Amino acid sequence: METIIKLNTTNTRNGNPRRLWVLLEKGIITKAWDEGYSGIGAVPENLRHLYKGTSFEVTIKEYNTTKKIYAV
C-alpha cells in the first residue's frame, strides 16, 4: 500500500516554508519532495492522488534528516 503524507515544521528565519511531501510504501518512507512554494505540485502528478489530507508537525531536525535521506 502506498500513501503520501505531509510533514510540516516552522518556517525559516526568512519566512520560507519547510514542508515535505513523503511517499510511504508499506509504512516505510521511500521518497520525499520539498514543497517550497509549489504545494502539492512538488509531487509528481501520477502520485498526487495518494494524498488523503494527512499531515504531521515535526521538529526541524526531523524535517532536515528526512529531507537529507529521502529527497528526490
- Contacts of the segment 28-35: beta carbons below 8 A, 24+ positions apart: 29/66, 29/69, 29/70, 30/70, 31/70, 31/71, 31/72, 32/7, 32/66, 32/67, 32/69, 32/70, 32/71, 32/72, 33/71, 33/72, 34/67, 34/71, 35/6
Q: Spell out the domain ranges in the chain.
A: 2-70
- Indicate the average pLDDT of the chain: 97
Q: Across the strands, what pairs with 53?
A: none
pLDDT tens for each residue of 38-71: 999 999 999 999 999 999 999 999 999 999 999 9
pLDDT at residue 31 in the model: 98
Global pTM reads 0.93
Q: Residue 61 is placed in which grid cell?
A: 531536525
